[in-house]
């Protein structure tokens, strides 16, 4: 097998160490290069948010401004656009969507995983079909229906299309399927009704899946632009991305410092949440694995 070509003199310890150092340096060079690209807009956003207008586009980039202008930028951002209102809207919409999604999907997923009832195979096929349909596809008829009902420009219209998450049903069903049947049967023998089995027995054990899905759902709907853009024209109801768009379009769009400050405020909640609960975010993405 081994030819003479592969039998070379064993390398000296110094050579081995050198080779290892070079490859380590190379790996870090690549990773740091990528990291600079990844962080570029964040660094630019944060530094611009504390720079006076004249310094933002200076030829030499500085991390810290000569003149600290942070207060003025954040103040003018907050006074021109109701940024905190956007955040509150985002919270209401994401929270409302998530709560209904969980309330609807968990019992359905339990029924699909553990109960025998007529129509179960059909329902599961429909869930799989639903997984194949991108959220943007039903938006046109939904818009027409909402317009006819006169509920455009309401929180309900912003949340309603997402109340049913086929993905949540799918994910929880997989999770519940691996839940031991014996415990459910023991609960039945102990006199626990099916409704209480779901919420008292099974759900407490499913929190990793629920946490994973919650992260997935909040990230998706906090950052969604398409649907709010369609149903909302009232600035007061704008979610963070939509608000950011209005903000950038307004006459303040040329006040780059304030715009960067606004972008910081819009981006901060999720990014901070991610930095705090990093493990859960990554575990959640690994488990859900879909956008």
Partner 1 sequence: MAGLTLRGIRKTFGDTAVLNDIDLDIADGEFLTLVGPSGCGKSTLLRIIAGLESQDSGSVSIGGTSVDHLRPHERRIAMVFQNYALYPHMSVFDNIALPLTMTRLNLFERLPLMRHLSLRRRRIMNEIAREVRAVAEQLRIESFFHRRPGQLSGGQRQRVALGRAMVRHPQAFLMDEPLSNLDAKLRVHMRGELTELHARLGATMIYVTHDQIEAMTMSDRLAVMDHGDILQLGTPADVYERPATTAVAQFIGSPAINLFQARVGPGGQVELLGRTLPIEVRNAPTPELTVGVRPEAMRIGGGPCAVTCRFRRRENLGSECILHFDLVASPEVAVLCRVDNGIPIPEGEVPLAFEPRDCHVFDNNGRRIEVESRNAAGRDLRRASEVR
Partner 2 sequence: MNTVAAQVTPLDAVPPAGGQRWVERFAGLGFAAPAFILLVLTNLAPLAALAFLSFTNYELGALDFSFVGFKNFGAALQDPVIRRSVTNTLLYVAIVVPGGVLLSLLVAILIHQRKRTRSLYEVIYFLPVTSTLIAMATMWQFLLHPTLGLINQALKGLGFAETAFLSEPRLVIPTLAAIGIWQLVGFNMVLFLAGLSAIPRDLYEAVDIDGASHPIDRFLKVTWPMLGPTTMFVTVTTFITAFKIFDTVTVMTRGGPGGASEVLLYAIYLEGFQYFHMSYAATLTLVFLAFTLVFSVLQTFILDRRVHY
Binders of partner 1 among residues 180 to 219 (CB under 8 A) are: 180, 182-183, 185-192, 196, 201, 204-205
Smallest distance from partner 1 to CB 194, Å: 10
Q: What is the DSSP letter of 165?
A: -
CB of 124 to partner 2, least distance (A): 7
> Taking contact as CB under 8 A, which single stretch among the options 10-18, 35-43, 63-71, 200-208 is the one that binds partner 2?
35-43
Using CB under 8 A as the binding criterion, the count of chain residues that bind partner 1 stands at 15
Binding mask 72-91 for partner 2 (x = CB under 8 A): --------------------
Q: Which does 153 bind (CB under 5 to 8 A by kind): partner 1, partner 2, none?
A: none
Closest distance of CB 121 from partner 1, Å: 15
- 154 with 115: CB under 8 angstroms? no
- In sequence order, which residues have a C-beta less than 8 Å from that of residue 259 and are 6 or more positions away? 77, 247, 248, 252, 253
Alpha helices in the chain (DSSP H): 13-48, 53-56, 70-80, 83-114, 120-131, 139-149, 155-159, 166-177, 181-189, 194-196, 207-222, 226-231, 240-249, 256-276, 278-288
Compare residues 42 and 68 and give the one whose CB is closer to partner 2.
Answer: 42
Query: What residues from 206 to 225 belong to the interface with partner 2 (CB under 8 A)?
Result: 219, 222-223, 225
Positive or negative torsion for Cα 60, 66, 71, 75: negative
Encoded tokens for 104: 């609807």
What angle, rounded to 10 degrees, do the helices at 83-114 and 207-222 form?
140
Tokens 């490859």, residue located: 23
CA distance 26 to 141: 54
Question: How far from the centroid of its chain's Cα atoms is residue 192's Cα?
Answer: 36
14 binds, among partner 2, partner 1, none (CB under 5 to 8 A by kind): none
22 binds partner 2 (CB under 8 A): no
Considering only residues 154, 174, 235, 250, which one is a binding residue for partner 2 as defined by CB under 8 A? 174
Of positions 142, 151, 192, 252, contacts partner 2 by CB under 8 A: 142
Judged by phi (left if over 0) then psi (alpha if -120 to 50, else beta), residue 119 lies in: left
Closer by beta carbon to partner 2, 44 or else 72 = 44
Contact 46, 264 (CB under 8 A): yes
Q: Which listed option, partner 2, partner 1, none, makes contact with residue 286 (CB within 5 to 8 Å by class)?
A: partner 2
Cβ 257 to partner 2, closest distance in Å? 11
- Binding to partner 2 by residue 191, rule CB under 8 A? no
Name the minimum Å distance from CB 182 to partner 1: 4
66 vs 276, which CB is nearer to partner 2?
A: 276
DSSP 10: P
Residue list 117-156, contact with partner 1 (CB under 8 A): none
**Residue carrying the six token digits 């096929």:** 125
Among partner 1, partner 2, none, partner that 50 touches (CB below 5 to 8 angstroms by kind): none
Binding site for partner 1 (CB under 8 A): 180, 182-183, 185-192, 196, 201, 204-205
């Amino acid at each position: 097998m081994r030819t003479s070509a592969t039998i070379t003199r064993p390398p000296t310890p110094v050579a081995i160490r050198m080779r290892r150092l070079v490859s380590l340096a190379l790996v870090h060079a690549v990773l740091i290069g990528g990291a600079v690209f990844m962080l570029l807009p964040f660094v630019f956003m944060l530094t611009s948010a504390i720079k006076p207008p004249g310094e933002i586009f200076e030829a030499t980039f500085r991390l810290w401004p000569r003149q600290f202008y942070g207060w003025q930028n954040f103040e003018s951002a907050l006074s021109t656009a109701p940024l905190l209102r956007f955040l509150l809207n985002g919270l209401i919409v994401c929270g409302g969507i998530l709560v209904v999604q969980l309330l609807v999907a968990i019992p359905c997923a339990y029924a699909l995983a553990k109960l025998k009832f007529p129509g179960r195979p059909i329902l599961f096929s429909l869930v799989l079909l639903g997984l194949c349909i991108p959220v943007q596809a039903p938006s046109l008829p939904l818009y027409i229906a909402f317009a006819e009902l006169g509920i455009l420009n309401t929180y309900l219209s912003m949340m309603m299309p997402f109340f049913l998450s086929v993905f949540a049903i799918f994910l929880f069903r997989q999770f519940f399927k691996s839940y031991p049947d014996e415990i459910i049967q023991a609960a039945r023998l102990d006199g626990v009704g099916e409704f209480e089995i779901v919420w008292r027995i099974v759900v407490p054990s499913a929190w990793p899946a629920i946490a994973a899905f919650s992260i997935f759902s909040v990230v998706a709907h906090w950052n969604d632009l398409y649907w709010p853009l369609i149903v909302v024209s009232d600035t007061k109801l704008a979610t963070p991305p939509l608000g950011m768009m209005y903000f950038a379009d307004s006459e303040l769009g040329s006040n780059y410092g304030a715009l960067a400050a606004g972008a910081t405020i819009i981006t901060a909640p999720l990014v901070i949440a991610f930095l705090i609960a990093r493990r859960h975010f990554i575990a959640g993405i690994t488990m859900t694995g879909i956008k």
